[in-house]
Amino acid sequence: MEADPNAAVASYPLVSLLPVLRTFEPPAGAFNPAGPWRQTWGVYTFAGRTAVTGRVGRLTLQRQVNGAAARLEVTYSKELTGGREEVTGTLEGPADAPLATPDRWTFRIRLLDAQGNPVPHTDITRKAVRDGGQITISDPSETRRLAVPGPYTVNWCLFDAVQRLPGEDTKPLAFTLIDHADQVKPETTLAFRKAMDVQVAGGKTVRTRAYEQLGRGNVPWVYWTDEAGRLLWVVAGLEGYALEAAGESAAKHAPAPYGSSQNRDKAGG
């Protein structure tokens, strides 16, 4: 039997995405992870170590930059038994924050049934604002205040942050993680794991950098970027993400720059 050219990844969670890697076309062209971009990943679930059950959703992130400020727009959809979960959101903060930490964010989360109709009482919008070491989270039913000392970030922001990490020179980052459902997960770390070559469609080899996220209340997450910083793949427990649309040419599809008069209302001022 012919040896698997990706046998080297067998000890990594990336083995779960091997069927996807065999048809993966690496993106080409220049990419600036610190600038504006738009990227879409397919969402996959696993039934066992290498059995991909198929794509069950998509995640799209669009990053806009205006001077020292950045805005990340999130669109997430995942098929569930008997329906679908949809998440949309915006997060705003400093453009150069190592963890892409937002100062304020808004998420809308809702469930749809198999016919695409909203499930009653599942459509909720939450807003969060940082004020010093405290974060105020509000929705129509309540307002909560969380004391979050030290560095923190929100889950989807890490898809942005890892693209600007310097590979082997990355120093481990310790922080509190807040997910889009406002669950707080302290003692989380993000660190460089290893550089490795991965073979994809057509026998092409992609040199990647792997970063690992570990912490309380969460399964391990591993992120793989190419040498330009593009986030290619993510594996977290029984869920994986694979890049479908690279964002280096996204500027022509992007709206007016964040903070411009065209986007001021959408940005909340």
* Model pTM above 0.85: yes
Q: Which of 245, 232, 250, 246 is nearest to 37 (CA)?
A: 250
Percentage above 90 pLDDT, the chain:
70
Residue with tokens 């995405």, as numbered in its chain = 17
Q: Containing H/E element for 125?
A: strand 124-131
Give the pLDDT confidence of 172-225 residue by residue, as tens digits.
999 999 988 788 999 999 999 999 999 999 999 999 999 999 998 889 999 999
User: Phi then psi for 8, rounded to 5 degrees?
Assistant: -65, -20
Give the pLDDT confidence of 75-101 residue by residue, as tens digits.
999 999 899 999 999 999 999 999 999
3-class secondary-structure state, position 251: helix
The domain limits of the chain are 15-24+34-250
Question: Which pLDDT belongs to residue 142?
Answer: 93
Structure tokens belonging to residue 242 = 């694979």
Structure tokens belonging to residue 69 = 């400020």
pLDDT surpassing 70 at residue 248 = no
CB 17 within 8 A of CB 236: no
